């Protein structure tokens, strides 16, 4: 967490985070415009510190490099110290987003999350696709699927009711899972229809880099608000289960 606090300990870097919070996926040129008195090299240096802290990640679209926010480091700080004294849902930057370069659909994601997990990719993959794991971090739901392309999937509550369902669009174990996801736990979300999720797992020197991308969720929709507040808890919970064997406090 030293890199996170170092990254936040500068008003210019906090300003860059604020600007990405308002309008994510900006180019270097756009970010430079927010700090007109600073050189391009100076802005690049600040962005490098933010990337080292995991608060900003990038994606290339052709020759353009886009910058995204990542909520997970802030959420981990919250869960380590603040959640003992505040409501579990409090998160100072819960809507921050992130991205990493890699295989992805041609369209740009609506929201992105990223975390580094101290275990092998095959263990992260198991946690994503095994119901005995998801029940421990995915709001108490158990996933069911045969995990073949085109197959159905369901997330079941403890009483067996369907909380969400969808289908496997593409799968490449243990690195990439693309699926549709239709929330059923709320009538408004149900009416808005399914979204598309991409779960990406990459080896990172013996650890794993996990990225979750959200598509087809308009920014003003209830689905967008619900998912962007929920995914930091899910990703942080998965990380906690794999690294410590402990689930995060339940949030419903």
Give domain limits for the chain: 2-69, 111-244
Q: Does residue 112 contact residue 95 with C-beta atoms inside 8 Å?
A: no
Return the minimum-mean-pLDDT range out of 29-33, 36-40, 193-197: 36-40
d(CA 44, CA 229) in angstroms, rounded, equals 29
pLDDT of residue 78: 65
Q: Kindly provide the b/e burial profile for residues 27-65, where b requires at least 16 CB atoms within 10 angstroms of the residue's own CB.
A: ebeebbeebeeeeeeebeebbebbbebbbbbbbeeeeee
Q: What is the mean pLDDT of residues 5-18?
A: 88
What is the tens place of the pLDDT at every residue in 125-136? 999 999 999 999
3-class secondary structure, 14? helix
The whole-chain average pLDDT of the chain stands at: 85
Return the minimum-mean-pLDDT range out of 29-33, 82-86, 154-158, 181-185: 82-86
d(CA 50, CA 3) in angstroms, rounded, equals 8
- In the β-sheet with 176-183, what is the strand arrangement from edge to edge? 111-117, 207-215, 195-204, 176-183, 162-172, 152-156, 142-145
d(CA 68, CA 197) in angstroms, rounded, equals 17
pLDDT of residue 197: 95
Which token pair is 115?
Answer: 């975390």
d(CA 53, CA 213) in angstroms, rounded, equals 20
Contacts of 49 (CB under 8 A, 6+ apart): 6, 7, 10, 13
Class level of CATH domain 2-69 = mainly alpha
- Whole-angstrom CA distances from 39 to 10, 35, 66 are 16, 8, 19
Nearest in space to 208 (alpha carbons), one of 239, 186, 240, 246: 239
Q: What is the mean pLDDT of residues 139-167?
A: 96
What is the tens place of the pLDDT at every residue in 156-204? 999 999 999 999 999 999 999 999 999 999 999 999 999 999 999 999 9
The full length of the chain comes to: 252
CATH number of this structure's domain 111-244:
3.30.530.20
Return the minimum-mean-pLDDT range out of 1-10, 104-113, 170-179: 104-113
């Amino acid at each position: 967490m030293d890199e996170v606090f170092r990254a936040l300990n500068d008003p210019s870097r906090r300003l860059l985070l604020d600007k990405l919070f308002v309008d994510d996926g900006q180019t270097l040129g756009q970010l430079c415009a927010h700090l007109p008195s600073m050189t391009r090299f100076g802005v690049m240096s600040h962005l490098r510190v933010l990337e080292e802290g995991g608060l900003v990640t990038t994606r290339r679209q052709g020759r353009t490099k886009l910058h995204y926010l990542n909520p997970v480091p802030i959420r981990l700080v919250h869960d380590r110290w603040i959640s003992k004294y505040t409501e579990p849902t409090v998160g100072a930057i819960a809507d921050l987003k992130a991205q990493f370069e890699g295989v992805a659909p041609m369209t740009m994601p609506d929201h992105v999350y990223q975390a580094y997990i101290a275990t092998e990719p095959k263990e992260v993959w198991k946690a994503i696709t095994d119901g005995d794991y998801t029940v421990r971090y995915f709001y108490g739901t158990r996933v069911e699927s045969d995990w073949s392309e085109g197959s159905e999937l369901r997330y079941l509550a403890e009483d067996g009711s369907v909380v969400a369902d969808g289908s496997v669009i593409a799968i490449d174990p243990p690195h990439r899972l693309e699926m549709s996801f239709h929330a059923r736990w709320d009538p408004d979300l149900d009416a808005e229809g399914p979204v598309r999720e991409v779960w990406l797992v990459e080896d990172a020197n013996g650890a794993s880099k996990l990225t979750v991308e959200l598509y087809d969720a308009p920014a003003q929709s209830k689905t967008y608000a619900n998912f962007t507040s929920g995914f930091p808890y899910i990703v942080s919970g998965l990380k906690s289960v794999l690294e410590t064997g402990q689930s995060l406090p339940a949030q419903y």
